[in-house]
Amino acid sequence: MTGFTLTAEGPYDFAAALRFVEDWPATGGLSHSDGRALRFAYCAETDWRPIGVTVTGAPGGVAVTTTRPAGPGIRAEVARILSMDVDGTGFAKLGEADPVLGDLQRRSPGLRPVCFWSPWEAACWAVIVQRSSMLIASRIKQRIADRYGARITVDDQVFTAFPPPVALADADGFGLPAQKEEWIRALARAALDGTLTTEHLRSLDPVEALAELRALPGVGPFSAGLILIRGAGAPDAFPGDEPRLFAILREQYGLPPDSPSAAYRRLADSWRPYRSWASFLFRAGTYGTLDD
């Protein structure tokens, strides 16, 4: 095991992140939180090899141990997963100008988005969960991991890493409809050619990144936003079409039921450069947790 620390810039509450993960179906079976530590295994984008990770709270941030040496790339990935790769100093100030957002920040101080282990895994979840319940999707995702992924022991617990794209690019038998399996194979090829990666997606303007993602097989507007925001960890993106979020904002801000998409975009503009974080907080704060 090797270790390193990550220090947060701006308010950060690791305990809040733990509480969120405990109720997050998308990582069901592939991670574990005991109220003190977060343990998980995943295939690192740096080399697509499996690695086990333990995260615990530390003054001003977190302490991280890994089952193999963690170079700068893996350290950056863990920081992205916890949204600690972004200076959050200015996020708290947004609540001073927006009392609705400020109320959520006071109720969940230091809560930042917890991301999927990679955009690739986020994209697979987006396909698996389409027209399915969260519980069934979580079980299917676990079965795919059990069949094609690697088992890693983390602090005497065995975890299964969701398989890397090379393992699924030509595979079948995922327990999904044929169309979904075809989409996952296409997404695997997109990850291998560098399109479906954090580095590429974060290098683009969010509007351009969302457009590229929507061009991938099986990826619609909602899935594109999920992959960019909760996969690549882009801090300042706002999905153009997310009915559930729009419904929350209508209720919270008293917007008319027939408000056009442009009205939500104008509202979100006041949250720059943290539009993703604010959207996450509204969904998590309103319903207790996110279900995707």
Structure tokens at 139: 């079980």
Residues 209, 196: Cα–Cα separation, whole Å: 10
7: phi > 0 → left, psi -120 to 50 → alpha, else beta; which? beta
Q: What is the pLDDT of residue 243?
A: 87
pTM: 0.93
C-beta of residue 196 within 8 angstroms of C-beta of residue 209: no
Number of C-beta neighbours around residue 122 at 10 A: 24
**DSSP3 helix / strand / coil % (the chain, rounded to 5):** 50, 15, 40
pLDDT along the chain (292 residues), means of 10: 93 93 74 83 95 96 96 97 97 93 93 96 96 89 94 94 96 92 98 97 96 96 95 92 90 94 94 97 66 43
Strands 31-33 and 151-154: unpaired
Residue at token pair 């697509």: 48
Can you tell me which residue has the tokens 């698996």? 128
CATH numeric code, 2-89: 3.30.310.20
pLDDT of residue 30: 60
Residue 286's Cα: distance from chain center in Å? 18
Q: What is the pLDDT of residue 29?
A: 58
Q: What is the pLDDT of residue 287?
A: 44
Q: Cis link prior to 163 (omega < 30° from 0)? A: no
Q: Give the containing element (helix H, strand E) for 40.
A: strand 37-43
In this structure, the dihedral spanned by the alpha carbons of residues 73, 76, 80 and 82, taken in order and rounded to 10 degrees, is 120
- pLDDT score of 134: 86
The continuous run of DSSP H or E covering 154 comes out as strand 151-154
Residue 18, CB half-sphere, CA atoms under 13 Å: how many? 16
**Token couple for 162:** 């969701």
Provide the pLDDT for residue 45: 95
Q: To 5 degrees, how large is the angle CA 288–CA 290–CA 292?
A: 160
| Domain spans, the chain | 2-89
**pLDDT at residue 204 in the model:** 97
